[in-house]
Amino acid sequence: MPAPIRPVVLLGARLLDGRSPDAIADGVLLTDDQGRIVAAGPVVATSVPKDAERIDLTGLTLLPGIIDCHVHLALKLEPVHDQVQRSATDIVVRSLETGGQFLEAGVTTVRDAGYAPAGIKRAFASGAFPGPRTQVSCRPLSQTGGHGDEWTPSGTILTTEMSDLPPGVADGVDAVRRAARLQIRAGADWIKVMATGGVLSAADTPDASQFTVDEIQVIVEEARAAGIHGTFAHAEGTAGIKNALRAGISSIEHGDLIDDEGIDLMLERDVPLIPTFNINFSLMDEGRIARGEVPPWAVQKMGYLFERQQRNFRHAVERGVRVVMGTDSFAGMYPPAELAYMSQYGLGPFRAIQAATTEAARLLGLADQVGTLQAGKQADLIAVSGDPLAEPELWRDPARIVFVMQGGRVVADRRGA
């Protein structure tokens, strides 16, 4: 069982509460024995209990914990000969390990975008294993031959069967409806839809639209009827992005080839874009390619998308599309780097922080619990060395995230280092 939570006072840091770019120079934050924030503000205006445990964060910047709305706890970029050796037990162990690593890196909440069973979120929520607050989507829904169909030209299907991840490949309105219900029965908080082809799948292209509007609409209907959080779409190609939006999808993941008509639909429906720069740069990493972790067809497709995605993201931001952080991070990746990418490609340092805190909490239906440093919310927070508004590049360096707290418990404390 986890140790009891003790009230603490965090002192000395610059405080960025997630709501305003105006930092409090000498901030203080108090937590209670339930892991909630009691007060956050300037030290001169805050009553600090004399007997409270004090943690000195002088020289650091205190922010809300990072919320990553697109991760894959169960997956890893690895050569095919390693993939086929993974059993269901191996996948569960990897998911637990990856969740712990993401939490230590300052990611206190995630939405898993496929292949982590609902038992993983329960394991983290129970405190039996350290990990982020987790929402899951179980197995993504895909048409036959789509991005979620693990078939390869040899006839081999590269998937690890798990009893609590129901099948997700379906065709036609009735079959798709049943596939959605199976994910909901398995404990999905969200339903993920493969609305286009993708980079890592062998049998399609990112331009290809997948599922009809009617098929996606049925998935949206089932999610609403069940009262789960919503639906989200892997959507890289232009036509598939618009199909998903017309069907009522909750968020667009990647959005690489979005055009102005797609942007119009996002603005009209207030649907956020989740850019996932992290996976794009990982797939183009020369070391990963040399080690066989990225297959040749993925390198070719990513080369086609790489600069287009950056250009289209910048245009979407200029037009006012709401952005939420999601990284598409697998095991062995570093999610916080996404803030540097978002900032670099048009969002700017403060809006990148909001994409990873307030906007992400809003999308996940957690705005009353996390995303800002305010009294009554969960004490999910990080402290970084330096000023992320003046130096957004610090997000690329794991050593700059010095302190992590989740629900009032200290997860990582690297101040001595």
Residue positions annotated with a catalytic role: 192, 328
| Among 119, 115, 193, residue whose Cα is nearest residue 158 | 115
66 DSSP β-pair partners: 107
Rg (CA), the chain: 21
Helices 238-247 and 260-269, packing angle to 10 deg = 20
Contact at 8 Å (CB) between 356 and 67? yes
Positive or negative, the Cα torsion across 13, 16, 22, 27? negative
Sign of CA dihedral 268, 274, 280, 281: positive
**Based on the number of CB atoms within 10 Å of its own CB, is 187 exposed (0-12), middle (13-18) or buried (19 or more)?**
middle
Q: How far apart (Å, rounded) are the C-alpha atoms in residues 134 and 350?
A: 25
Q: Where are the beta strands (DSSP E) in 57-128?
A: 60-64, 66-71, 107-112
DSSP character at residue 22: -
CA distance 411 to 390: 26
How far is residue 410 from each of residues 62, 304, 325, 357, 404, measured CA to CA in Å?
Answer: 14, 43, 24, 19, 6
d(CA 78, CA 137): 23
- Please tell me the distance from the alpha carbon of residue 253 to that of residue 144, in angstroms, as a whole number: 20
- Find the distance separating the first CA and the last CA of the chain, reported in whole Å: 29
Contact 170, 212 (CB under 8 A): no
Q: How many CB atoms lie within 10 A of CB 156?
A: 12
Q: Residue 9 corresponds to which tokens in the numbers above? A: 């006072």
CA distance 243 to 246: 5
Residue type, 173: V
State whether residue 338 is helix, strand or coil.
helix
Q: How wide is the angle at C-alpha 99 spanned by C-alphas 114 and 7, nearest 5°?
A: 135
